[in-house]
Structure 1
Amino acid sequence: MATSTQDKKAYEAKVKAQIEKLNAQLDEMKAKGQQAKADATIQYHEKIEELQAKRDDLTKKLQELQEAGEEAWEEIRIGFEKVLSDAETALKNAWEKLNG
């Protein structure tokens, strides 16, 4: 089943929006980390580094998606969905641990 260029463009826009959302959440977490007590600061920074790595993976996958031909982009999209799911799970776990 062929995927149209319009579908690909729409998905790329969705991916960009998700990365922007993750960036906003990281910025909020950084702000909270700056307000945290000294003993909690290390924990915040470790989680922020982990989430930034996941965000970087998402950005790389987006670049692969943008460069992919019509036949390959569906496979790359599946890989992106996995990376996004991992990032969202890590963010949720970090928030629960740091705010719990």
Structure 2
Amino acid sequence: MPKAYWVSVYRTIADPGKLAAYNKLARLAVEPAGGRTIVRGGRVVAYDAGIAERTVLVEFDSFEQAVAARESAAYQEALAALSYGVERDFRIVEGLD
């Protein structure tokens, strides 16, 4: 079964405090759902139309698991804390195998 990934690329961070609150709550939602954060911030080189801002990559054992974690009540609480503190591109993608 292919793994799945949450991919978040932050275009702007308007409120670092909201991001910090989100990070605490998101971790409590992601880890019990089987998610493993494998990239968070770090060095970035952006090419083409890329944005050299914060990038986060979370791995799950399946696409269904990744979607369920995103839709969970715990993650919705994290999103409420984030509110309009950032502008980001968030997507769930399925791996090759």
Q: Quick check: which has more Rg, 1 or 2?
A: 1
Question: What's the TM-score, normalizing by structure 2?
Answer: 0.36
Higher-helix-fraction structure: 1
Q: Kindly indicate whether structure 1 or structure 2 has the higher relative contact order, using CA contacts under 8 Å at least 6 residues apart.
A: 2
